[in-house]
Structure 1
Amino acid sequence: MKMKRILTLVCVTMLAACVFCVPAYAATGDVAGAIQGTWTTASQQIKMVVDNVVFPAIDLILAVFFFAKLGTAYFDCAPVKAL
């Protein structure tokens, strides 16, 4: 059963690698230029995703943690009324 899971995981990983790989074609024989062009396009997309998705998500998570920590600090330091 464990071997079947490992084999399935390997097959899915290999299939994902085949689907998501992007070929870099060099029409004039300039392979380095083709790779640089592909990287330039990809780096612009990566920057856009990081700026529009990753940073706002990290900001939201940090804000939630900050207010949770602020709340726990308030309740730890709040005076207790004597009966």
Structure 2
Amino acid sequence: MKKFMKIGTLLCVVLVFTFALTSPALAAGTGDVAAAVESTWDDASVQIKDVVNNVVFPAIDLILAVFFFAKLGMAYFDYRKQGQFEWAAPAILFACLVFTLTAPLYIWDIIGI
């Protein structure tokens, strides 16, 4: 019985916070929901573009650069061990790195922002 009381209390707290912290999204006086969504998107698209250009793409670039140099080092050690250099994985990582480094220049024209 004590277990059900804890679960019930937790459920009530979650519901109270859910109702307290949510706000209704209402369209302006005419009730035109499409216009409200479009105006919100117009305002938010600039912020989304800035966040993606300044945070997301640099993070992806950093990860790909680390993987590229790690894979290049591993390929070199494999070359020293076996006498054959595998170019496929470093080439793919390099192509992905170049793609993500140049993506902010053209990706927004493709998406339409």
TM-score range, shorter chain: 0.5 to 0.7
> With CA pairs under 8 Å and 6+ residues apart, which has the higher RCO, 1 or 2?
2
Task: Give the CA deviation at 1:19.
Answer: 4.2
Report the Cα distance in structure 2 between the residues aligned to 1:64 and 1:76, rounded to whole angstroms. Answer: 18
Alignment of 1:52-71 (within 5 A): 52-71=54-73
Match of 2:52 among 50, 54, 57: 50
CA RMSD of aligned residues (A): 3.3
State the identity %: 58
Question: 5+ residue gaps in structure 1?
Answer: none
1:12-40 residue CA offsets vs partner (Å, 9 max, x unmatched): 9x73xx74767354145443222211111
Q: TM-score, normalised by structure 2?
A: 0.49
1:37 corresponds to which letter in structure 2? S
Q: TM-score, normalised by structure 1?
A: 0.63
1:71 corresponds to which letter in structure 2? G
